A and B are shown apart, each in its own frame.
Chain A
Amino acid sequence: MTTTTGPLATRRLILQGAASVALIGLGNLPFAASPARAAANDKYPEDAFKQKSEADAIKALYGKSAEPSDKVKLDAPEIAENGGVVPVSVTTTLDKVTSISFLVAENPFALAASYKFADGTIPGVANRLKMAKTTKLVAIVEADGKLYSATKEVKVTVGGCGG
């Protein structure tokens, strides 16, 4: 674990350093800097999908951690007979939701799906996920710049990894 976080952490520091240097350089052009940043956020978060643990994936995706909230409603079966197809959905009563993500803690790569919501899109989504084995399922809702989470344990009788 330390061997993987070590170089990653340094890389992040270097990136942060580079970003702040760039920001100083563009100090007189603040409007040029912000659209570039927004574009970077719209890209496919490849790094986040490669993280093995759910905490690392949340950090890579959002750069902060989430607090549990009863306003996030995560709906998943108690027992999934087929881990290859587990119907999962999230609804929330939170305002200003910009994204919802699903993480499966025991999967080889924790982050399963991340959805972005525009203004006027109702904050809720249903989809079907694969689960390797009995696992904790985490839903993250990003609302008004903060992260909220809900967790549920799903028992898997036949894993979704085939083979």
Chain B
Amino acid sequence: MASSIRVRANANGDITEVQALIQHPMDTGLVKDSKGELIPAHFIQELKFECNGKDVFVANWGTAVSKDPYVKFSFKGAKKGDELKISWTDNKGASDTTTAKIA
């Protein structure tokens, strides 16, 4: 299966800009389906970015993050060719991990 995580990490000098897009329904647990039954909550709780053995950025998410979430941030201390590891876990215990080379 293709990874649920799409990530782009570009180094510009000392600063690396990271953009990530994850495929996930991010159901709030408050919305009803066409039969009038509640769709149970299903959302990513934690998203972690790790580079050179260090957690550079950790996101804790609730249900108010949009479907197919997007996040962008920048960090220092990495160079082109370094690997960035991205992993998420959701409230049902599912998870996914991917690595991206910093370009």
Contact = CB atoms under 8 A, between A and B. Distances in A.
Interface of B: 15, 28, 30-32, 45-46, 54-67, 69-77
A121 B17 CA distance: 10
A63 interface: no
A137 to B, nearest CB: 11
Interface in A108-151: 108-109, 111-118, 120-122, 124-131
Interface of A: 42, 44-45, 49, 84-86, 89, 104, 107-109, 111-118, 120-122, 124-131, 160-163
Contacts of A113: 59-62, 64-65
B75 A118 contact: yes
Contacts of B73: 115, 121-122, 124-126
A129 B59 contact: no
Given A120-B75, A163-B31, A128 B60 contact: no
Between A42, A115, A121, A160, the greatest number of chain B beta carbons within 10 A of the residue's beta carbon is seen for: A121
A161 B63 CA distance: 11
A162 B66 contact: no
A91 B22 CA distance: 22
A129 B28 CA distance: 12
B60 A44 contact: yes
Contacts of B15: 122
